[in-house]
C-alpha cells in the first residue's frame, strides 16, 4: 500500500496526452493510448483515478471501445473513479457513461483548470471511501472487544480496561446509561477470560417479578412451592465454570441481596426447598444504570454486597460522549437492516449524517439502532434522509461569548477528526485541513489527547 496518488490518463491523441501529463502536479502519472494498455496499467499500478477518452482506437470516431474500457476498469476495480470525456454526442454519452458507473463526465475541448478540480475531488472522495471501507473491515473482523463497534478513544479505553481485568477472577461492575452496550461488554469480559469455554448466562433482574427472581437465580426443588413440578437449576448453577451477568442489579430486593451476598462470600448456594449446599464456581459481572452509591446511602442497597460486586468498576460513556461513533454505528445498522429486510436504502444523505452527528442520543445506541431500522423501512430512495430518521434540528445552548463558541466548535471538530483517524495525528490534521504543529497547539490549548 502507498499513499501516492496515481492518475491514469487514457488518451490516444499524443499531443493532448502530453498536455494532460504536464498539467498535473503532485500525482504519479501513467498514460495509455488504447484499451489494452489501459487495462495493463490498471492491473499493474491500481490507480485511484482515471481520465478516459471514449474515442479510442480502432474506432476513434466512435465510443464503443471507450465504453468497453470503462466497463472493464470497473469490473477489475469498482472503487476506481473514472472521469470520461467525449466530443461525440455528449449528452447521450454522458447518460450512458454514468449509467455504467463513471464517476464524472466532461466535454471536449478540455478546460485544464476545470478538469484539474474534478480530478482533485475524485482523489478526495476515493480517499474517504477507502477509509470507510477500512473501518468497516476492522469492525467486521471483530478487532474490538466483544464485537463492539467503536472508533472513539473514550470507548476504546473501556475495552482496553476490560481486556486487562478479564483474566483476573474478580467481580466486575459496569455502570452506564440504558442502551450503552453493557451486556455486549459483559459478554466481552467472558470471551476474553479463561472461562470462555463455559456458559455465559444473562438475567435481567428488573424484568422478573420479585417472587420469581429468587427461583430464577438459585433454582428450586420439586414441590418447594405450588407449581414446582420438577427440580430446576437456577441461573447461578447454569453458569458453573462460566460467567453470570446480572443486569440491572440495582433492582434486586433487599431480602434477596442477603442471599446473593452469602453466595459471593461462600461460593455455595441452596435451592429453594432444600438445605443442601451446592458449591458453584461462577464469575459474576453485573450492570446498572442507577446510582448505587446513592442507593447505599439511602439504605436501598447493601453496602457489603456493593463492595463484593464492585471489585472492578467500569464506567461506560454515553453515545454523545463517543465522538464519531454515531455515524460509524449508523452505517453498520443500515447495512444490517437493509440486507435483512431487503430495502433499497444503502447510504445516508448529507443532511442525515449531519443530523446524526448533532443529535444528543438520550437513548444511546439502542435509540440509534431503532431510528436507523425504522429509516431503512421508511426511506423511499437509496439514501436515508434526516426526515426518515425523524431527527429534529438540535438547538444548542448559546455559549457565553464568541471565544467560548469557537472553543466549543474547535473541540468538537478535533474530537470527531481524532476518532475518524483513530488517534493518528497526521491523519487528523489532514481531515481538519491544518498542519501538524497547529493541531498540536490546539490540542495542548484544549487539553485533548490523541
Q: Which residues on neighbouring strands pair with residue 43, listed in sequence order?
A: none
**Residue 381: pLDDT band by 50, 70, 90 thresholds?**
confident
Residues 66-97: tens digit of each pLDDT: 899 999 999 888 889 999 987 655 678 888 88
CA 100/CA 31 separation, integer angstroms? 22
CA distance 215 to 243: 18
Locate 170 and state its grid cell.
474478580
- Answer yes or no: are the C-beta atoms of 122 and 8 closer than 8 Å: no
Top pLDDT among 420 and 272 is at: 272
Distance CA 80, CA 46 (A): 8
For residue 31, the SS3 value is strand
| CB-CB contact of 320 with 279 (8 Å) | no
CA separation, residue 437 to residues 36, 425, 440, 444 (Å): 46, 10, 5, 10
C-alpha–C-alpha distance, residues 78 and 426, integer Å: 28
Q: At what angle do helices 182-191 and 153-166 cross, to 10 degrees?
A: 40
**What is the pLDDT at residue 202?**
95
Map residue 168 onto helix, strand or coil.
coil
Position of cell 446524526? 356
Please, are residues 212 and 307 in contact by the beta-carbon 8 Å criterion? no
Residue 100 has a pLDDT of 87
User: Would the pLDDT of 63 be above 50?
Assistant: yes
pTM above 0.85, yes or no: no
Name the nearest CA neighbour of 207 among 251, 257, 254, 258: 251
Q: How far apart are CA 402 and CA 410, in angstroms?
A: 12
The per-residue DSSP string of 95-141 comes to HHHHHHT-SEEEESSP-HHHHHHHHHHHHHHHHHHHHHHHHHHHHHT
Alpha carbons 186 and 205: distance in angstroms, whole number: 15
pLDDT computed for residue 129 by the predictor: 84
- Cα of first residue to Cα of last residue in the chain, in angstroms, is 24
- What are the φ/ψ torsions at residue 170 (nearest 5 degrees)? -125, 160
pLDDT at 111: 84
pLDDT at 146: 62
Task: State residue 412's pLDDT score.
Answer: 80
Candidate from 81-90, 356-365, 409-418 with smallest mean pLDDT: 81-90
Q: What pLDDT is attached to residue 414?
A: 87
Distance in angstroms (rounded) separating the CA atoms of residues 283 and 440: 44
Residue pLDDT, tens place only, 93-119: 888 888 888 998 887 788 888 888 899
Helical ranges in 34-108 per DSSP H: 35-45, 64-76, 90-100
Confidence at residue 135, expressed as pLDDT on a 0 to 100 scale? 63
Percentage of the chain exceeding pLDDT 70: 92
User: Which residue from 317, 335, 321 is spatially nearest to 132, judged by alpha carbons?
Assistant: 335
Which of the four pLDDT bands, split at 50, 70 and 90, describes residue 394? Answer: very low
> 16: which DSSP letter?
H
Amino acid at each position: 500500500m502507498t499513499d501516492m496518488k496515481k492518475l491514469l490518463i487514457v488518451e490516444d491523441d499524443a499531443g493532448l496526452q502530453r498536455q494532460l501529463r504536464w498539467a498535473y502536479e503532485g500525482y504519479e502519472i501513467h498514460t495509455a493510448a488504447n484499451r489494452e494498455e489501459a487495462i495493463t496499467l490498471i492491473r499493474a499500478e491500481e490507480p485511484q483515478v482515471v481520465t478516459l477518452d471514449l474515442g479510442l482506437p480502432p474506432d476513434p470516431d466512435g465510443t464503443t471501445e471507450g465504453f468497453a474500457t470503462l466497463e472493464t476498469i470497473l469490473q477489475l476495480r469498482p472503487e476506481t473513479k473514472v472521469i470520461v470525456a467525449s466530443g461525440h454526442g455528449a449528452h447521450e454519452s454522458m447518460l450512458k457513461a454514468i449509467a455504467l458507473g463513471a464517476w464524472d463526465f466532461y466535454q471536449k475541448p478540455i478546460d485544464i483548470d476545470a478538469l484539474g478540480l474534478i480530478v482533485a475531488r475524485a482523489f478526495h472522495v476515493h480517499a474517504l471511501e477507502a477509509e470507510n471501507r477500512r473501518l468497516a473491515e476492522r469492525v467486521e473482523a471483530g478487532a474490538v472487544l466483544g464485537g463492539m463497534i467503536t472508533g472513539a478513544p473514550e470507548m476504546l479505553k473501556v475495552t482496553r480496561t476490560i481486556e486487562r481485568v478479564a483474566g483476573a477472577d474478580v467481580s466486575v461492575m459496569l455502570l452506564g446509561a440504558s442502551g450503552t452496550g453493557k451486556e455486549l461488554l459483559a459478554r466481552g469480559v467472558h470471551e476474553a477470560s479463561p472461562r470462555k469455554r463455559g456458559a455465559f448466562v444473562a438475567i435481567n433482574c428488573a424484568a422478573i417479578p420479585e417472587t420469581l427472581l429468587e427461583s430464577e437465580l438459585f433454582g428450586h426443588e420439586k414441590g418447594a412451592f405450588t407449581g414446582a413440578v420438577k427440580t430446576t437449576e437456577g441461573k447461578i448453577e447454569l453458569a458453573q465454570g462460566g460467567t453470570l451477568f446480572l443486569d440491572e442489579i440495582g433492582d434486586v430486593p433487599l431480602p434477596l441481596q442477603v442471599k446473593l451476598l452469602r453466595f459471593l462470600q461462600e461460593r455455595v448456594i441452596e435451592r429453594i426447598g432444600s438445605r443442601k449446599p451446592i458449591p458453584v464456581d461462577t464469575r459474576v459481572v453485573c450492570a446498572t444504570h442507577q446510582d448505587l452509591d446513592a442507593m447505599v446511602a439511602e439504605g436501598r442497597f447493601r453496602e457489603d454486597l456493593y463492595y463484593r460486586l464492585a471489585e472492578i468498576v467500569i464506567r461506560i460513556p454515553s453515545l454523545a460522549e463517543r465522538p464519531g461513533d454515531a455515524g460509524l454505528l449508523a452505517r453498520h445498522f443500515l447495512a444490517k437492516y437493509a440486507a435483512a429486510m431487503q430495502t433499497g436504502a444503502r447510504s445516508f444523505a448529507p443532511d442525515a449524517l449531519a443530523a446524526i452527528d448533532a443529535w444528543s442520543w438520550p437513548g444511546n445506541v439502542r435509540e440509534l439502532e431503532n431510528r436507523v431500522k425504522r429509516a431503512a423501512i421508511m426511506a423511499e430512495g437509496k439514501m436515508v434522509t434526516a426526515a426518515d430518521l425523524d431527527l429534529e434540528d438540535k438547538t444548542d445552548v448559546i455559549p457565553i461569548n464568541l471565544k467560548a463558541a469557537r472553543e466549543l466548535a474547535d473541540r468538537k471538530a478535533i474530537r470527531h477528526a481524532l476518532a475518524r483517524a483513530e488517534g493518528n495525528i497526521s491523519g487528523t490534521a489532514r481531515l481538519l485541513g491544518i498542519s501538524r504543529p497547529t493541531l498540536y497547539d490546539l490540542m495542548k490549548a484544549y487539553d485533548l489527547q490523541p
